[in-house]
Structure 1
Amino acid sequence: MKKIKTAIIGAAGYTGGELLRLLVYHPVCELVYVHSNSQKGKKVTEVHPDLIGDTELLFTDKVETKGIDAVFLGLPHGETKGFLENHPFSPNTLIIDLSTDFRDESNGFVYGLPEVNKSKIQNAKKIANPGCFATGIQLALAPAIQKSWVRNTIQVSGITGSTGAGKKLAETSHFSYRTGNMSVYKLFTHQHLKEIKQTFGQLNPEFKQDLLFVPYRGNFSRGIWITAYFPFEGDLDEALKVYKDFYQDAPFTHVSDQDIDMKQAVNTNKCILYLQKENGQLVIYAAIDNLLKGASGQAVQNFNIAFGLEETTGLNLKSIAF
């Protein structure tokens, strides 16, 4: 098969590094160049030393738009629109944006949640990759929203690893702050709520309920754990059947019959779900890797779908058990 000529813009950070690790091994991808203003001229392996022996590429601050079949944009939030205005790619180039800029599906972008929008992604040339918390929350609740089970406010909490804050050093990402510590941020106001409500409205136009989300900073480097619950009159077997039917064709989203833990999902592109019925509440747990299913892995999944490849191509990763 002909190789897909691919570029990464903004490849020095955590998500850019994960994209590199995936794409250097992707059997159909040819990495033409990797872009970084801050690391220009350096070997990729100087910034991502674990890739020694896997690539000889150098970072460049030059942007080549011609002859590129696909480009991944790992720019800071708010910068993608201006970048694309200054660097217009061919209409035939697949653009996958990992920022928040086009998740409202403006400017011709499709929201890239494969479990909900696969048919749209198959025909898209512009894909807005979902946020990490948004991915976990949407996959935890999508079947219930579609079935109109949620009639009251949804209670959701989520805890994320420090890599979710990006590579740039900040007070709350210091080891001395994170270790042995937990804290809440953006209570009920997290930026991912907007895209979550957009998807839920598409799944069920009658959905108007509030979603009260409590995000936590975790004292670990990667992974996301979501807990969501709401009053439910049905039984657990009914809920399990609906969830398993909803995800029966989703190669990365799995409904477990036994209790789960976050490490089952870390270092994979999986979302693993577990359901319980307690005190009249349907409780759903979701575990993902914030840098893979929550970012770069899902971006490659969308790349595969858009090019008509097997959805799992280059993404058969093994979790870390201990």
Structure 2
Amino acid sequence: MHHLTKTGRTLAAAATAVLLAAGLGTTAHAAPKPRPRTLGAFKFGTTFSHKKVAGLTTGKMPASSARQFLELKKPRFKSAQRGGKTVSAAETPWTGSWHMDWGVFPTVEVYGAAALHSVNPSIVLPTGHPDSIYAPTLLPSNRSCIEMVTTYLGGRDSVSAWDWCRSSPGWSVGVTVDSAFTSTYTALSAGHPVYAVQTLLTNAASKTWTSYLWNFTTSSWDTFFSSSGTTPFPAEVGGWDMWEVYTDYDSGTHQGAFCDDTRGAVWETSALSYATSVGAAPTVSATTSNSVQPAVPGDDGGCDSPALTRQLVYPNSQWRVSN
């Protein structure tokens, strides 16, 4: 088993307990496995390598996903915090399409956010699959140009940046979740892969936001994407870290099309933390005093035999959705 060399850095006190408690589920199929490396000594912060994340590409996201992603978020242009659809399990089977989301929403102004996000490298939806999974997806603030999204789309998993400050918001750069990515940017938390991400307001005057991934090989933050400007969201407290799915009804299985194809998957955020002033490291843990998490929905998440499970593991810095 490989271990990181100690760097003398320690986890921020507010996130330490959460990191130690983080535990993710198993995935459903054989896949490239991350190196058996533990989280080691790293911290959310403002010291960067000035190197780009390896493997970044553009143009690999299907146009249909951009249209869909934008449509899903349009209701938030008027309301910063909108809960997902909530129905009772008795309403299934259902028909048509269903957009679901659930997660944590800051209730104070923040200038950056950071988290450990799970990846499921073995869960690859077949090419042409009708469903889209964006989980976890992180937007620190309504003013943040960048939403960092773990995507599961037909034929490819990725970590991608959505640019809200473009004249026409859309996908910018992304990296495929493959063996090269997992060997560099993931570590094991309770035996399962996570990557560390942070998005910060790096220049208040120009309204510039920058996203970073922690490189577990070099023990440093690599730059993922940077963007400046204003977003279409209202000028009020907002943002989110959440699980989001757009699913079509499968008349053959009487559930969401994604359900059987993602059995064993776990979508999880842990160590969610905020930067509460410009230039500060995102080390203030998400709690009930600075964020809100809607109650666990009473529905089955569009899946049965078994239904999805949604858990608030540690208020409000760790949530988990299991299939």
TM-score by length of 1: 0.27
Say which structure, 1 or 2, has more relative contact order (CA 8 Å, 6+ apart).
2
Q: Which has the larger radius of gyration?
A: 1
Whichever structure has more helix as a proportion of its residues is: 1
Q: TM-score, normalised by structure 2?
A: 0.27
User: Which has the larger strand fraction?
Assistant: 2
